[in-house]
Structure 1
Amino acid sequence: MTATPTEHRAKIAEARNVLGEVISRARYANEPTVLINRGKEAAVIVSYEDYMTLRELRGYLRELEAGTTSDDAHKARMLGEAMAVAQRRALGD
């Protein structure tokens, strides 16, 4: 069974002091860090790979929302596959 990856949380000022560690966790351990500003989630530091996956998913989603082509079923399948990849990454597979 695969364990759920750790999600770290840190105030921005604290994360700034250990930025190299925060980046290493995102890059090598696939562990995001949620940055907190004044008690609220402000941003997340994730690996570049995860960021690019998110961009790709957003693009597919925009195309599906437009719904102007007869190829929407294909796009929906592609989005589902990309989401499955993202989920596997999040689970550390």
Structure 2
Amino acid sequence: MRFLATSAAPFRIYNIGNNAPVKLGAYIEAIEAATGKTAITEFLPLQPGDVPDTFADMSELVDAVGYQPATPVTDGVRAFVAWYRSYYGR
């Protein structure tokens, strides 16, 4: 993270994520594939406070430091599950 310490705004908060939405079903499938388990799902209408779509607007981070996400959700979930199991021994 050396590049942030030398930026014009070293304490700025950036939105980091993927600038393309991922459908909830695809995210659940990625978790199922990574864990080898089948999720028990019950889809309900939107609840108070829910938003229909979310994604990270990364334009400020890209402009400031040139970072562009390159990890597909499936790979990120798989890596996280592997780390979690290794770290917590589960």
Q: TM-score, normalised by structure 2?
A: 0.24
Q: TM-score, normalised by structure 1?
A: 0.24
Structure with the bigger percentage of helix = 1
Structure with the bigger percentage of strand = 1
